[in-house]
Amino acid sequence: MDKKKIAVPLVCHGHSRPVVDLFYSPVTPDGFFLISASKDSSPMLRNGETGDWIGTFEGHKGAVWSVCLDTNALRAASASADFSAKVWDALTGDVLHSFEHKHIVRACAFSENTHLLLTGGVEKVLRIYDLNRPDAPPREVDKSPGSVRTVTWMHSDQTILSSCTDMGGVRLWDVRSGKIVQTLETKSSVTSAEVSQDGRYITTADGSTVKFWDANHYGLVKSYNMPCTVESASLEPKYGNKFVAGGEDMWVRVFDFHTGDEIACNKGHHGPVHCVRFSPGGESYASGSEDGTIRIWLTGPLTHDGTEPFAANGSVGKVKVTAEDVSRKIEGFQIAEEGKTKEKETGKE
Of the pLDDT bands very low, low, confident and very high (cuts 50, 70, 90), residue 57 is: very high
Residue environment code for 138-153, b if the CB has 16+ CB neighbours within 10 A, otherwise e: beebeebebbbbbbbb
Is pLDDT at 305 greater than 90 in this prediction?
no
- List pLDDT tens digits, range 183-232: 999 999 999 999 999 999 999 999 999 999 999 999 999 999 999 999 99
Q: Do residues 107 and 121 lie in contact, with contact meaning Cβ atoms separated by under 8 Å?
A: yes
93, 138, 184, 200, 208 from 211: Cα distances, Å = 36, 32, 10, 13, 10
Q: Could you give the maximum distance between any two Cα atoms of the chain, in Å?
A: 59
Kindly state the average pLDDT of the residues 312-316: 35
Is pLDDT at 172 greater than 50 in this prediction?
yes
7, 13, 112, 171 from 36: Cα distances, Å = 22, 11, 20, 25
pTM: 0.86
- What is the predicted pLDDT for the residue at 5? 60
User: How many C-beta atoms lie closer than 10 Å to residue 249's C-beta?
Assistant: 17
- List pLDDT tens digits, range 315-338: 333 333 344 443 444 344 333 333
- What is the predicted pLDDT for the residue at 34? 98
| DSSP symbols for 123-158 | T---EEEETTSTTSPPEE-S--SS-EEEEEEETTTT
- What is the predicted pLDDT for the residue at 308? 37
Per the prediction, the chain carries an average pLDDT of 88
Q: Do residues 197 and 158 lie in contact, with contact meaning Cβ atoms separated by under 8 Å?
A: no
Kindly state the average pLDDT of the residues 23-37: 97
CA atoms within 13 A on the CB side of 101: 28
The type of residue at 324 is E
Residue 9 is given by DSSP the state P
Q: Do residues 274 and 230 lie in contact, with contact meaning Cβ atoms separated by under 8 Å?
A: no
Of the pLDDT bands very low, low, confident and very high (cuts 50, 70, 90), residue 314 is: very low
User: How many C-beta atoms lie closer than 10 Å to residue 24's C-beta?
Assistant: 23
Can you say whether the dihedral through the CA atoms of 138, 143, 147, 151 is positive or negative?
negative
Kindly report the CATH number that applies to the domain delimited by 198-302: 2.120.10.30
Kindly state the average pLDDT of the residues 28-43: 98
Q: Do residues 288 and 296 lie in contact, with contact meaning Cβ atoms separated by under 8 Å?
A: no
| Domain definitions of the chain by residue range | 198-302
Residue 259 is given by DSSP the state T
